[in-house]
């Protein structure tokens, strides 16, 4: 199964839903979400499939199972709630947070993954102990161009799990090996390993604690998985990809800001079979829309991934790569959308 019909940038305006304060701008909705109340809706499997240009019948069983287990109900914000959310985002932007690329942030991530390793060890490396606390730390989400309040605190984390399982099925599951760059707590790798035990997996990160955690999990659970140190800004040229290997970054390449070209060049030269990115893509936002203006301002204040998709388009025009899919799913945290998809392969 392959994702189909990539969306145009910054996103289409075809909208078949008539929902109060619910602006869809990411593709045609052939059916409305199930209405659970005057302003409460359910993000169902049909809508999630449409985010990927798929039919519900094309979703993998693993994703459908996760959807069935999850509470994806959400409601609209009141005027007062919306005003408070906007003020909070504006305050966060004005605070000028520490840029993601300096040494203090590297040290912070080292401490984060060391703490995650301690937690996972105490919990016998159960999948729940690998879930990063910051993924589901906000009570507000972005969905289809509007703010929403999820009824479950786990909605973002569970949606992320569904998305990665769809991406695994579309692009990775039929291959023999996969490399995750910026693997962090290795919770993506554990899910992939358990769903596709035939895969040979490598988790790469610039934090030694992350690499050690990958190896800990592999030993404890007898998985075909290993950790390896890797720096996005100084790629290890000795790294050899197995034939037709998959490479993926999930909410990790964002940390490189404008300095992503060296890593991308490395991938083009190394010629893995496929490259899958689930990242905040600045080019997808529409600067004419107020909610996107806030995301753009936050993205720029944090110095997240900039010019990445534009660079890939230039590579494609020069014949170096072929872009297979690019789409804005329309889902994110209160501050921005970290779940946009870009898939490409060396030409």
- DSSP secondary structure code for residue 239 in this structure: -
- State how many domains the chain has: 1
Confidence of residue 217 (pLDDT cuts 50, 70, 90): very high
Low-confidence winner among 14-23, 208-217, 249-258, 300-309 (lowest mean pLDDT): 14-23
The whole-number pLDDT of residue 110 equals 84
Cα-flanking dihedrals φ and ψ of residue 179, to 5°?
A: -125, 120
241-261 residue pLDDT tens: 987 999 999 999 998 999 999
Low-confidence winner among 118-132, 274-288, 326-340 (lowest mean pLDDT): 118-132
* Mean pLDDT for the stretch of residues 152-160: 95
Domain membership flag for residue 242: yes
* Mean pLDDT for the stretch of residues 29-46: 64
The whole-number pLDDT of residue 32 equals 36
The whole-number pLDDT of residue 96 equals 66
The whole-number pLDDT of residue 37 equals 42
Could you tell me the two tokens for 5?
């019909």
Domain membership flag for residue 208: no
How far is 177 from 202, CA to CA, in rounded Å? 8
Cα-flanking dihedrals φ and ψ of residue 148, to 5°?
A: -140, 155
Domain membership flag for residue 98: no
Q: What is the pTM of this model?
A: 0.88
Domain membership flag for residue 1: no
Residue 71's domain comprises 35-80+131-182+230-346
Low-confidence winner among 168-172, 253-257, 307-311 (lowest mean pLDDT): 253-257
Percent of the chain with pLDDT over 70: 86
Domain membership flag for residue 163: yes
Q: Is residue 101 over pLDDT 90?
A: no
The whole-number pLDDT of residue 16 equals 25
228-242 residue pLDDT tens: 999 999 999 999 898
Strand order in the sheet with 40-42: 35-37, 40-42, 73-75, 146-150, 141-143, 331-333
What rounded mean pLDDT belongs to the chain? 87
The whole-number pLDDT of residue 1 equals 45
Domain membership flag for residue 7: no
Percent of the chain with pLDDT over 90: 78
Q: Contact 43/143 with Cβ under 8 angstroms?
A: yes
């Amino acid at each position: 199964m392959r994702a189909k019909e990539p969306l145009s940038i910054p996103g289409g305006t075809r909208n078949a839903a008539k929902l109060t304060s619910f602006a869809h701008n990411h593709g045609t909705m052939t059916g409305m979400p199930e209405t659970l109340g005057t302003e409460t809706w359910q993000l169902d499997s049909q809508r999630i499939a449409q985010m990927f240009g798929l039919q519900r019948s094309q979703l993998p069983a693993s994703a459908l199972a996760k959807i069935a287990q999850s509470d994806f109900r959400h409601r609209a914000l009141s005027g007062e709630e919306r005003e408070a959310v906007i003020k909070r985002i504006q305050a966060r932007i004005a605070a000028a947070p520490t840029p993601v690329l300096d040494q203090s942030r590297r040290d912070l991530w080292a401490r984060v993954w060391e703490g995650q390793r301690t937690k996972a060890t105490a919990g016998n490396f159960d999948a729940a102990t690998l879930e990063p606390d910051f993924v589901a730390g906000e009570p507000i989400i972005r969905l289809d161009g509007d703010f929403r309040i999820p009824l479950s605190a786990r909605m973002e984390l569970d949606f992320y799990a569904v998305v990665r399982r769809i991406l695994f099925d579309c692009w990775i599951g039929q291959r023999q090996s996969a490399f995750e760059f910026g693997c962090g707590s290795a919770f993506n790798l554990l899910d992939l390993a358990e769903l596709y035990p035939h895969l040979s997996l490598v988790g790469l990160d610039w934090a030694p604690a992350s690499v050690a955690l990958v190896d800990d999990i592999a030993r404890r659970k007898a998985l075909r998985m290993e950790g390896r140190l890797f720096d996005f800004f100084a790629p290890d040229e000795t790294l050899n990809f197995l034939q037709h290997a998959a490479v993926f970054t999930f909410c990790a390449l964002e940390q490189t800001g404008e300095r992503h070209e060296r890593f991308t060049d490395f991938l083009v030269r190394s010629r893995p079979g496929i490259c899958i990115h689930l990242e905040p893509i600045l080019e997808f936002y529409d600067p004419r829309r107020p909610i996107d203006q806030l995301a753009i301002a936050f993205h720029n204040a944090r110095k997240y991934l900039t010019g990445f998709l534009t660079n890939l388009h230039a590579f494609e025009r020069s014949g170096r790569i072929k872009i297979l899919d690019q789409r804005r799913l329309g889902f994110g945290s209160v501050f921005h959308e970290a779940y946009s998809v870009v898939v490409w392969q060396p030409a």
